Amino acid sequence: MAGVAGVTAAAAVTDPAVAGPDELWPLLRRHTQARIGLGRSGSALPTRHRLGLQAAHAAARDAVHSPFDPDTVAAGLRGLPTVRVRSAAGDRLTYLQRPDLGRRLDPVDRAHLPAGGDWDVVFVVADGLSSRAVHEHAAAVVRATAARLTGWSVAPVVLAEQARVALGDDIAHAMGTAMVVVLIGERPGMSAADSLGAYLTYRPVPGVTTDADRNCLSNIRPPLGLTYEAAAGKLAALLSRGRELGRTGVALKDETDADVTARGALEAPATAPPAP
């Protein structure tokens, strides 16, 4: 009876004949970050919503242009060895204008990478298009995932500046690791400027590996996105299964039953969306 009463109450609330727009839209907005039912003031948005949109746009621009601070991430990874590298994009403007340079290591930094460690996996923390996302979420995801990789040889964490996803291919190839996980700030939108993505690739080859060869977890940003524990559970399972198959990407499916408790959490797609 309680279930029937709940359904009846929900129907009453969502029935336009019972609840007018002024009551319905606020209720619906509680369940999404999308801008719905904003109303109008003449031919324009109401002032408060226009100001909110401008503030979101400013936050997105700040996320793209804010400098990456490796020290912030290293502090969160205290106790784990780290290495710092840069891409071939010498500055932020070059990085934004030349995506190809963000996919290649700086030659000097390549020579400083440790090699020959017979590592199973390397975690690359890359600024991407939102250093804010990386500063806030990356260290916690690395720690939670590494803790689940019992028996794995984990390479020093690489902190990469002016980096695109494919820079992980260059890093893994140079270090001789079997797999790479790139944690990177995703392209900001009008509702999220702090979203972290995780890209997993088995034995990548620079210039040859494509996005179809990767798996991706997107929207890691509690409490509104995927939680750290849920992301770590999925990553660890994908890493283990990918090593068994000897492949990642379209051949590797997410079959985990991780407890995704965060509101708005997204399931990991079988293939990656366009990489930052």
| Tens digit of each residue's pLDDT (9 = 90 or more) over 188-208 | 877 788 999 999 999 999 999
pLDDT level of residue 224 (50, 70, 90 thresholds): confident
Answer yes or no: are the C-beta atoms of 171 and 106 closer than 8 Å: no
pLDDT level of residue 178 (50, 70, 90 thresholds): very high
> Would you say residue 52 has pLDDT above 90?
no
Least confident stretch, 62-76, 172-186, 257-271:
257-271
pTM: 0.78
Segment 61-89 shows an average pLDDT of 92
User: Cα(first)–Cα(last) distance of the chain, in Å?
Assistant: 50
- What angle do the packed helices 139-146 and 228-245 form, to 10 degrees? 50
> Would you say residue 264 has pLDDT above 70?
no
Segment 30-46 shows an average pLDDT of 79
pLDDT level of residue 71 (50, 70, 90 thresholds): very high
Segment 157-186 shows an average pLDDT of 96
Segment 153-159 shows an average pLDDT of 97
The region, left, alpha or beta by phi > 0 then psi within -120 to 50, assigned to residue 80 is: beta
For tokens 């199973």, name the residue.
Answer: 120
Strand locations in the chain (E): 82-86, 121-126, 157-161, 179-185, 196-202, 214-220
More confidently predicted of 120 and 63: 120
pLDDT level of residue 78 (50, 70, 90 thresholds): very high
| Tens digit of each residue's pLDDT (9 = 90 or more) over 87-138 | 999 999 999 999 999 999 999 999 989 987 789 999 999 999 999 999 999 9
Q: What percent of the chain has pLDDT over 70?
A: 85
